Structure 1
């Protein structure tokens, strides 16, 4: 495990990356503004699951393939970008769920909740930049002569994910509150839907042009 000084460096770095605006935060922000706090938190859960998959992959060396293979990186990147664009297009053409008295019943359906969580998990799993983030950060604090490398990778990775999840929850709660206050306005509902769709399409475009570095 890291030394005391290394723990401070790791926690400081992980905190900085957690609060830094990035695709994960913007994804949660868009979902929260459009679908409310509940959908935002479900997106956070999905993102967390996807990030944990990257942690496991990094712990067992699978993420190294993305770092060393341009082909693998490009394939995952383009599939992830296409998926985000697909979610954005679906949001643009979705029916207005906020119209009518049954909106809360609709949003709380278990099937929809699972769908939002799964979408967040897939979007995060198909983001190769997350894998490269863990590969760039964690090895500096791993000392195989003291502890098994996979164990240290897993512990540190899960701590980094937990910190990011806390920040994302704050974003989801705040954005969900703002969206809920404005959702009774028909024009705002249209703007929410368009904004959510364009945000996801934009994130897909950014991911598509991401460099392997």
Structure 2
């Protein structure tokens, strides 16, 4: 009965999650720098944050945020500050010395908790994600759709997001890929840092429509 609506939600989500953004940049950087395990934990953090967006959308809090300039700006500045923080840290990456260059990507061990938190905060604080889920649950999904069905959509969105970024982590944590990035050493870190800073600035300039 709700298959048409579900397929519409799934297609919109696929297009949104596949487009490069803060989540993609963070998962790629963690996977290249620390390997598949850390990349997967980052991906799980991103996927878990979807439950946060779905939860407040179902409760109507997303509508409140979208209508309150103060709340929207608070969320926006928190997200921008976080991306700028990790971006500037990456921009300050130093070259590795001689034979240690290949090990540049592994010089700072990353715990599962840190990786998970990085993914969760990157997605959870993103005001564009707030607006995306708000529009999804107020425009695309019929308000008369039972709450349990809408919650089911949310579970799918969370698992699909985590699954997608686990695939991204798998790709960018391959030995050949990591070795190639390692040869670029600190330049890769700086490039990713520039991307994260640019995304942080872009979010900071986001206006509520």
The TM-score range, normalised by the shorter chain, is 0.7 to 0.9
CA deviations 1:6-52 (Å, max 9, x no partner) are 23322222222232333322322233233332332222111112222
TM-score (norm 1): 0.81
Contact 1:25 1:168 in 2 (8 A): yes
TM-score (norm 2): 0.83
What runs of 5+ residues in structure 2 fail to find an aligned partner? none
Q: Which residue of 2 aligns with 1:38?
A: 37
Q: Which residue of 2 aligns with 1:130?
A: 129
1:71, distance to aligned residue in structure 2 (A): 1.5
Aligned with residue 194 of structure 1, among 181, 190, 198: 190
What runs of 5+ residues in structure 1 fail to find an aligned partner? none
Number of residues of Structure 1 aligned to a counterpart in Structure 2: 204
- 1: CA distance between counterparts of 2:188 and 2:38? 14
CA deviations 1:109-168 (Å, max 9, x no partner) are 6xx221121122122211111111111112332443x62x3x333221221222222221
CA deviations 1:84-132 (Å, max 9, x no partner) are 101112223357797687x86963x6xx221121122122211111111
The 1:183–1:21 alpha-carbon spacing in structure 2 relative to 1, beyond 3 Å, is closer
The 1:92–1:129 alpha-carbon spacing in structure 2 relative to 1, beyond 3 Å, is same
Q: Which residue of 2 aligns with 1:13?
A: 12
Q: CA RMSD in A?
A: 2.7
- 2: CA distance between counterparts of 1:96 and 1:56? 44
